[in-house]
Structure 1
């Protein structure tokens, strides 16, 4: 008795589908396990693409190896300078704050005792005694602080290891990336290689233009913040300006976050005058940045709708945190360029197929 061929075909279909699903699940699980190095690779690739413009410009004046070294040294100086400006004042003032906490507690107690209404509240809840006990116990909490600093130190070491790894990967990609790209394109048919080369070139130009625009925008935000804070006499003007510039690199929400942080600091300076002046300035500057600076510098580089920018930032931040939010817009711009080029190629291919079909039909008729 012969077997039904349909049963054999069904069995093969079920087997193929099962194997495919298992392979996809296994692949996704492998990507999940390797998410950290894959994320580092994506970040390194983005940085290398962003630096390819300066490297190419310097390569016309010196050997490519020297150009890469000089560019990477310039990039390395940026975080070093930022840390040198931000960290020392914070550590210095933090130490002073810890030393003066008992004095602040005594001042708070005198202030409460001089106010009849606050004194009644204090008699009911014993606030001043709790504040004094907390201030006196603060030196004994050095062990907890040491443990916290140890945990922070481990995090810093891990971050430094990740940064060094990414830095090395960037150097390799800058040095060998063009050769790898040419080898990949050499495996493709001539027409496809030409299209892929044009797409990759446009993606690189978009990323480079976006990064240059974002850095210039952050620089303007930092400089203007420093000028305003210096005029107002706000302490930590330079560190706050650096933090504002760094936050400004985050699309859509970064400038607002930076303004809020600076606004909190102004509360402790000359409240409410300095705070009101800063809030008015921040609102005016963000309007100028959003309607004048950002459209001219960034939107022309990437050409993404604001809703797409927000969605890309949310996705990038969910996947990779702050680095993902920073990379989201240029990555989305690259995907948009690739999708448009693919759609153009597909449309032209379909038009060519219809033309050939029409010619064949006319010849047959």
Structure 2
């Protein structure tokens, strides 16, 4: 046996063990890493406001605290307002449930010529096995729901704390990062940081604009249908649909559907249809155009980045995909050498026949002048 073989085997086993340990640690910490990534983009989002306040003489830590506190208060107030509204609507639905059931039974009797009664339906439902099993499972799942809620609150607290530290100690963080890099690399890192702040701000601006458009469109629908709390519901739909990508519109539409059902069950179907149609309009027309202007990336790239981000990191990936891709594109664009494009209809798009003829004549005239100038230079040289 060669002398190096035992050492090679031991080294291979050691490397394999390190790989397994690293893989296990990564899977254990992937949730924390995602939270840190989301906190970093949140810090980039509030960086312009914090920077302006710090430039006016306010301490950076205090400025970060005020901005974060304002965001937190707005979020809590929004959730409390909508929660109280939802609770009131659920109480109304429970109180009016017998009336809804009577109207449904009357419609079934008239349409299908049956002879159902509310008492029979209630007795059959209450005595069914599936309802008893559902109640038992719901009772046992209360602890799971509580644990999920507490876990979500802890995750939000973690994200806010990391975002606060990233924003408050932004200059110190950049200084620490640049201290281990040569001067040329330091310039590139700082430029990338500025681009990330700019693109993240542009992304939030586009999301805010789309939230406004979505809120106005849904507000008009709610007013036409006579759905109560139309302004609050419009704000809910606008914010949730934009800041929870891909499925946000459907999630935001669930609450208006529930409240519309208390007015008229058919109104809930109208709301559902409008939500589906508006989602397609937003995904394929509105979002790509606004994103391409505010974040300066192609609509197809924006749409593809959201899909890729969702596949990689779920909702978090969809949320940060566009600013991340825009930052990467702007940063790498400085290293791409660009040239003048030839004057060709295949490059500049379709032109009318008259424009093409004029372009050819101008090109021929230019070549003729060049030949005459060259001939004049040759004759003068002789």
Same fold (TM over 0.5): yes
Point out where structure 1 has 5 or more consecutive residues left out of the alignment. 346-365
Contact in 1 for aligned 2:289/2:299 (Cα 8 Å)? no
Contact in 2 for aligned 1:58/1:67 (Cα 8 Å)? yes
**Of 5, 20, 23, the match for 1:28:** 23
Partner in structure 2 of residue 359 of structure 1: none
Partner in structure 1 of residue 356 of structure 2: none
Partner in structure 1 of residue 94 of structure 2: 98
Within 2, Cα distance between the matches of 1:227 and 1:258?
A: 16
**Of 202, 205, 226, the match for 2:219:** 226
CA apart distance, 1:221: 1.8
Q: CA RMSD in A?
A: 4.2
Contact in 2 for aligned 1:55/1:68 (Cα 8 Å)? yes
Q: 1:291–1:64: structure 2 CA closer, same or farther, 3 Å change rule?
A: same
**Of 168, 188, 203, the match for 2:196:** 203
Contact in 2 for aligned 1:226/1:238 (Cα 8 Å)? yes
Contact in 2 for aligned 1:259/1:282 (Cα 8 Å)? no
Whose relative contact order is higher, 1 or 2, with alpha carbons under 8 Å and at least 6 apart?
A: 1
Q: 1:319–1:81: structure 2 CA closer, same or farther, 3 Å change rule?
A: farther
**Of 100, 112, 133, the match for 2:124:** 133
Contact in 2 for aligned 1:225/1:241 (Cα 8 Å)? yes
Q: Is 1:193 the equivalent of 2:186? A: yes
Q: 1:108–1:279: structure 2 CA closer, same or farther, 3 Å change rule?
A: closer
Q: Is 1:43 the equivalent of 2:41? A: no
Contact in 2 for aligned 1:255/1:286 (Cα 8 Å)? no
Partner in structure 2 of residue 161 of structure 1: 154
TM-score, normalization: structure 1?
0.72
Partner in structure 2 of residue 247 of structure 1: 241
- Report the more deviating stretch, 262-271 or 179-188: 262-271
Partner in structure 1 of residue 168 of structure 2: 175
Deviations, residues 316-351 of structure 1 (Å, cap 9, x unaligned): 33454433322222233334445555x559xxxxxx
Partner in structure 1 of residue 85 of structure 2: 89
Within 1, Cα distance between the matches of 2:289 and 2:92?
A: 44
CA apart distance, 1:11: 9.3
In proportion to residue count, which structure has more helix?
Answer: 1
- Report the more deviating stretch, 45-54 or 100-109: 100-109
TM-score, normalization: structure 2?
0.70
**Of 295, 298, 317, the match for 2:289:** 295
- Report the more deviating stretch, 53-62 or 208-217: 208-217
Contact in 2 for aligned 1:218/1:248 (Cα 8 Å)? yes
Deviations, residues 215-262 of structure 1 (Å, cap 9, x unaligned): 232133224422431243123424532332211234566446656875
Q: 1:254–1:165: structure 2 CA closer, same or farther, 3 Å change rule?
A: closer
Within 1, Cα distance between the matches of 2:279 and 2:24?
A: 46
Within 2, Cα distance between the matches of 1:155 and 1:321?
A: 18
Contact in 1 for aligned 2:101/2:118 (Cα 8 Å)? no
Contact in 2 for aligned 1:232/1:274 (Cα 8 Å)? no
Q: Which is higher, the Rg of structure 1 or of structure 2?
A: 2
CA apart distance, 1:169: 1.4
Partner in structure 1 of residue 74 of structure 2: 78
Q: 1:143–1:225: structure 2 CA closer, same or farther, 3 Å change rule?
A: same
Deviations, residues 262-301 of structure 1 (Å, cap 9, x unaligned): 56865765576896698579857974886467524x2234
CA apart distance, 1:71: 0.4
Point out where structure 2 has 5 or more consecutive residues left out of the alignment. 338-382
Contact in 1 for aligned 2:288/2:300 (Cα 8 Å)? no
CA apart distance, 1:129: 3.0
Within 1, Cα distance between the matches of 2:84 and 2:301?
A: 39
